[in-house]
A and B are shown apart, each in its own frame.
Chain A
Amino acid sequence: DTAVSQTPKYLVTQMGNDKSIKCEQNLGHDTMYWYKQDSKKFLKIMFSYNNKELIINETVPNRFSPKSPDKAHLNLHINSLELGDSAVYFCASSQDFSGNQPQHFGDGTRLSIL
């Protein structure tokens, strides 16, 4: 069983479209995250939810809207996609929000904007 699963694995779309990426974890964790890895391979935090509550919201355009229907899911919706949104998006989860808990990552969603 995959611990943290993201769908789709690849997403190719045109500028201006709206798309969603789904994430589910079956580890029973309380905290979930979205990270963005750009072409230079820098991995940066975007959002974090703890028990369905938003706790981290980095400087991300408001075109990005996370939604957590329950503790096991954290979806990412992106409106009006731009070329600069092309990247790999990783979902992760951890037992709780304390820094010494390991984070478990999904295998990423590669988003390509044409």
Chain B
Amino acid sequence: LAKTTQPISMDSYEGQEVNITCSHNNIATNDYITWYQQFPSQGPRFIIQGYKTKVTNEVASLFIPADRKSSTLSLPRVSLSDTAVYYCLVISNSGYALNFGKGTSLLVTP
């Protein structure tokens, strides 16, 4: 399983754009990059997944450079309710359960 490295914590003010970068230097050819969000007392929730370049949905954008050794989750105009832990995972398409690291604890303040 590809190991991921992401910041332990980040702070932001409401209304700002937040970018969380994840390093995955030993990502394999058939691996996908996936992000989950976890609020206190809840299970993780899928946010976005990508293989290369850019993916965008109603919640976030995911930027993946050509070498795929890193990825950046972008949250536009965060609100207080975006305070959560964000996990970056690298998953093989051949299938395996999720390997959660420590995640990035994002705190959004007024």
Which residues does A use to contact B, with CB under 8 Å?
4, 33, 35, 41-45, 48, 56, 90, 92, 97-100, 102-108
Binds A, one of B10-18, B19-27, B73-81, B88-96: B88-96
Complex interface: chain A residues within 8 A of B32 (CB): 99-100
**Whole-angstrom distance between the alpha carbons of A34 and B65 in the complex?**
33
**26 examples of A-B residue contacts, CB within 8 angstroms:** A33-B97, A41-B85, A43-B98, A45-B97, A45-B98, A45-B99, A56-B96, A56-B97, A90-B43, A99-B31, A99-B32, A99-B91, A99-B94, A99-B96, A100-B34, A100-B49, A102-B34, A102-B46, A103-B44, A104-B46, A105-B42, A106-B43, A107-B42, A107-B43, A108-B41, A108-B43
A92 touching B43 by the CB < 8 A rule? yes
Instruction: Decide yes or no whether B45 CB sits under 8 A from chain A.
Output: yes
Complex interface: chain B residues within 8 A of A104 (CB): 46
CB distance from A35 to the nearest CB of B (A): 8
CB distance from A111 to the nearest CB of B (A): 14
B91 touching A41 by the CB < 8 A rule? no
B99 and chain A: residue at smallest CB distance? A45
A42 touching B98 by the CB < 8 A rule? no
**Whole-angstrom distance between the alpha carbons of A102 and B59 in the complex?**
15
**Whole-angstrom distance between the alpha carbons of A104 and B85 in the complex?**
16
Complex interface: chain B residues within 8 A of A42 (CB): 100, 102
**Whole-angstrom distance between the alpha carbons of A33 and B31 in the complex?**
20
CB distance from B11 to the nearest CB of A (A): 18
Complex interface: chain B residues within 8 A of A92 (CB): 43
Complex interface: chain B residues within 8 A of A97 (CB): 95
CB distance from A58 to the nearest CB of B (A): 8
A99 and chain B: residue at smallest CB distance? B91
Complex interface: chain A residues within 8 A of B93 (CB): 98-100
**Whole-angstrom distance between the alpha carbons of A44 and B101 in the complex?**
9
- B91 interface neighbour in A4, A43, A56, A100, Cβ under 8 Å: A100
Complex interface: chain B residues within 8 A of A56 (CB): 96-97
- B95 interface neighbour in A43, A90, A99, Cβ under 8 Å: A99
B32 and chain A: residue at smallest CB distance? A100
